[in-house]
Amino acid sequence: MHSGDHDPESGGHDHGHHHHHGHNHDHSELDEMELRVRALESLLTEKGYIDPPALDALIETYEKQVGPRNGAAVVARAWNDPGFMKMLRDDATAAISSMNFVGRQGEHMVAVENTPGTHNMVVCTLCSCYPWPVLGLPPVWYKSPAYRSRAVIEPRSVLAEFGVTLPEGTAIKVWDSTAEVRYLVIPQRPAGTGGMSEEDLACLVTRDSMIGTGLALTPDEARAKGLLS
Amino acid sequence: MNGPQDLGGAHGFGPLPLEENEPLFHDDWERRVLALTLAMGASGSWNIDASRHARERTPPAEYLSSSYYRIWFEGLVRLIEETGLASTDEIASGRMTEPPKRVKRVLKEADVAAVLAKGGPADRSTETKAQFAVGDRVRARVMNPKGHTRLPRYVRGHTGTIERIHGCHVFPDSAAHGLGDDPQWLYGVVFDAGEVWGEARGGDTLHIDLWEPYLERL
């Protein structure tokens, strides 16, 4: 372990549950990365380039505050409020920022709407671009070579791995996020949800349904998963 | 660059690494890499395009066998070395042996929320007129720059239709190399999947954001 004036663990975040690593499997990627990252953080702190409490605040933001529930609230409102849906179609950045979901990796938003004949799916073949303010940080599969390579050339086989089969004749639109524009899929509103509140509707909207690798849940599916009472 | 990052249409990567109830981070170092990357990004020592270019310069075999946070880490180390903020030896040892360089800003805890909320909009004002209009037929240029580009290989040489004008945006091919924002018109271009892949794909389409220098009129 390094020693230095600044202990990277002094920022108050919880490392406790990871301490079992490193004692059992030497030379693994985990041990190596843990050491290299700590050394870098220690060095950058000593150089005065970073402020460790700011690092904790960054982590806290994406662990606790920003995530797919934001996007679900956007979709539920779009389903419930035709005026908001129109705003989302016309200027998704403005519509989403009206709900206070703003900032890094959501500066330029476009909403793409699934319809009975069209299914949208989002990928970043060149890196890991993802709409952070509405979906949070991307899952590992989204950043994986398997997803990035296959989404554009065989979207149906990708969907099959998610258990999604589209009705015959559905056209798939794959959005490759090559620029700073970020895409949010508005899944189709499930049948039998006419009288539901916006809050309950949001429980039907999964992260994957907003990437386009899933569909919105039916109320029964959401109840079975314990997402809806 | 025709590097390991340009994955669209490649074969052989197998099934998706799906994980039930996947945690946001798989280990604590991933959290720290995220935060270090964002905090150093906020120091103003490089832009997002230079960051992406640093990651895609990870040697292909290493890139393809690394977790994404590891790719971020390798990219961050590369940027720190290349900008002279720290030496390779210092990074390895974790100890400062050379005085620090001046950075434009040190991100403080109190500013994190505001900095994240502000983000980094890429649109720029311009005097130039967009050369293409919605509905115009275009071809993605065949080009193989050794530097950074956001024109994926799988679409080069293929024909599409302008479906949206996003505005004038920072041009990554320039910005990644310290050549300034060099704003260029950015378009949403739709391609027929059947034309791109050379076999019938029903009505499937590919929608790719491409800057004007990537396109030629048909």
Residue A140: which residues within 8 A CB-CB, separation 6 or more?
B17, B19, B22, B26, B67, B68
What pLDDT score was predicted for residue A11? 36
The mean pLDDT of A18-33, rounded to a whole number, is: 57
Cβ–Cβ contact A147 with B under 8 A: yes
Query: Does B9 map to a domain?
Result: no
Question: Do B91 and B169 share a domain, yes or no?
Answer: no
Q: Spell out which residues of chain B touch residue A139, defining contact as CB-CB under 8 Å.
A: 19, 22
Q: Is the pLDDT of residue B118 over 60?
A: yes
Q: Which of A42, A129, A177, A203 is catalytic?
A: A129
Q: Collapsing DSSP states into helix, strand and coil, what is residue B48?
A: helix
What pLDDT score was predicted for residue A16? 38
What pLDDT score was predicted for residue A27? 55
- Contact state of B112 with A61 under an 8 Å Cβ cutoff: yes
Cβ–Cβ contact A104 with B under 8 A: yes
Pick A104's closest partner by Cβ from B31, B76, B119: B119
Q: At what angle do helices B68-82 and A29-46 cross, to 10 degrees?
A: 40
Query: Does B154 map to a domain?
Result: yes
Q: Which of A42, A124, A177, A203 is catalytic?
A: A124
Q: Is the pLDDT of residue A5 over 80?
A: no
Q: Is the pLDDT of residue A20 over 50?
A: no
Question: How distant is the Cα of A195 from the closest Cα of chain B, in angstroms?
Answer: 30
Question: Do B141 and B76 share a domain, yes or no?
Answer: no
Q: Is the pLDDT of residue B148 over 70?
A: yes
The mean pLDDT of B32-44, rounded to a whole number, is: 97
Question: How distant is the Cα of A77 from the closest Cα of chain B, in angstroms?
Answer: 22
Residue A157: active-site member: no
Pick A108's closest partner by Cβ from B67, B93, B166: B166
- The answer to whether ipTM exceeds 0.90 is yes
Residue B63: which residues within 8 A CB-CB, separation 6 or more?
B3, B4, B5, B55, B56, B71
Cβ–Cβ contact A102 with B under 8 A: yes
- The overall average pLDDT reported for chain A is 90
What pLDDT score was predicted for residue B1? 98
Q: Which of A10, A28, A127, A157 is catalytic?
A: A127
How many C-beta atoms surround the C-beta of residue B142 within 10 A?
A: 11
Query: Does B15 map to a domain?
Result: no
- Contact state of B10 with A62 under an 8 Å Cβ cutoff: no
Reported as a pLDDT band with limits 50, 70 and 90, residue A13 is very low
Radius of gyration over alpha carbons of chain B, in Å?
20
Domain containing residue B142: CATH number: 2.30.30.50
Provide the 8-state DSSP code for A218: P
- Contact state of B13 with A53 under an 8 Å Cβ cutoff: no
Residue B85: which residues within 8 A CB-CB, separation 6 or more?
A47, A49, B45, B100, B101, B103
Question: How distant is the Cα of A81 from the closest Cα of chain B, in angstroms?
Answer: 25
* Terminal CA-CA length for chain B: 25
| Domain-terminating residue out of B66, B90, B118 | B118
How many C-beta atoms surround the C-beta of residue B181 within 10 A?
A: 15
Q: Collapsing DSSP states into helix, strand and coil, what is residue A88?
A: helix
- Contact state of A43 with B96 under an 8 Å Cβ cutoff: yes
Pick A44's closest partner by Cβ from B40, B202, B204: B40
Q: Which residue has the higher pLDDT, A98 or A14?
A: A98
Q: Is the pLDDT of residue B31 over 90?
A: yes
Q: Spell out which residues of chain A touch residue B39, defining contact as CB-CB under 8 Å.
A: 49-51, 54-55, 58
What pLDDT score was predicted for residue A7? 38
Residue B54: which residues within 8 A CB-CB, separation 6 or more?
B46, B75, B76, B78, B79, B82
Task: Quote the distance between the C-alpha of residue B65 and its chain's center.
Answer: 19
Query: For testing the chain A interface, which of B24, B26, B29 should be mutated: the one with the most A CBs within 10 Å?
Result: B29
Residue A124: active-site member: yes
- Is residue A3 within 8 A of residue A46, CB to CB? The reply is no
Q: Spell out which residues of chain B touch residue A114, defining contact as CB-CB under 8 Å.
A: none
- Is residue A204 within 8 A of residue A226, CB to CB? The reply is no
pTM: 0.92
Percent of chain A with pLDDT over 90: 85
Pick A58's closest partner by Cβ from B90, B112, B122: B112
Residue A197: active-site member: no
| Domain-terminating residue out of B60, B83, B118 | B118
Q: Is the pLDDT of residue A28 over 80?
A: no
Q: Which domain holds residue B166?
A: 137-217
Pick A175's closest partner by Cβ from B16, B123, B207: B207
Q: Spell out which residues of chain B touch residue A155, defining contact as CB-CB under 8 Å.
A: 204
Helix (H) or strand (E) holding A76: helix A68-80
Question: Do B105 and B63 share a domain, yes or no?
Answer: yes
Q: Is the pLDDT of residue A12 over 90?
A: no
Distances (CA, A) of B108 to A80, A141, B43: 40, 32, 10
What pLDDT score was predicted for residue B211? 98
Question: Do B78 and B148 share a domain, yes or no?
Answer: no
What pLDDT score was predicted for residue B172? 98
Question: Do B161 and B201 share a domain, yes or no?
Answer: yes
Question: Is the C-alpha dihedral spanning A154, B9, A118, A181 positive or negative?
Answer: positive
- The Cα–Cα gap between A18 and A16 comes to 5
Q: Is the pLDDT of residue B203 over 90?
A: yes
Question: Do B150 and B86 share a domain, yes or no?
Answer: no
Q: Spell out which residues of chain A touch residue B95, defining contact as CB-CB under 8 Å.
A: 2, 4, 42-43, 46
Residue A127: active-site member: yes
Reported as a pLDDT band with limits 50, 70 and 90, residue A6 is very low
Query: Does B151 map to a domain?
Result: yes
| B166's tokens | 């996003």
Question: Do B32 and B61 share a domain, yes or no?
Answer: yes
Domain containing residue B55: CATH number: 1.10.472.20
Task: Quote the distance between the C-alpha of residue B92 and its chain's center.
Answer: 27
Helix (H) or strand (E) holding B186: strand B184-192
Burial of B21 (0-12, 13-18, 19+ CB in 10 A): exposed
Question: Do B111 and B47 share a domain, yes or no?
Answer: yes
Q: Which residue of B has its CA nearest to A32?
A: B29
The mean pLDDT of A3-21, rounded to a whole number, is: 39
How many structural domains are present in chain B?
Answer: 2
Question: How distant is the Cα of B203 from the closest Cα of chain A, in angstroms?
Answer: 5
- Is residue B169 within 8 A of residue A179, CB to CB? The reply is yes
Query: Does B97 map to a domain?
Result: yes
- Contact state of B119 with A56 under an 8 Å Cβ cutoff: no
Question: Do B85 and B162 share a domain, yes or no?
Answer: no
- The Cα–Cα gap between B217 and B132 comes to 8
Radius of gyration over alpha carbons of chain A, in Å?
21
User: ∠ CA(B110), CA(B25), CA(B47), 5° rounding?
Assistant: 55
pLDDT digits (tens, 9 = 90+) for A123-182: 999 999 999 999 999 999 999 999 999 999 999 999 999 999 999 999 999 999 999 999
pLDDT digits (tens, 9 = 90+) for A60-79: 999 999 999 999 999 999 99
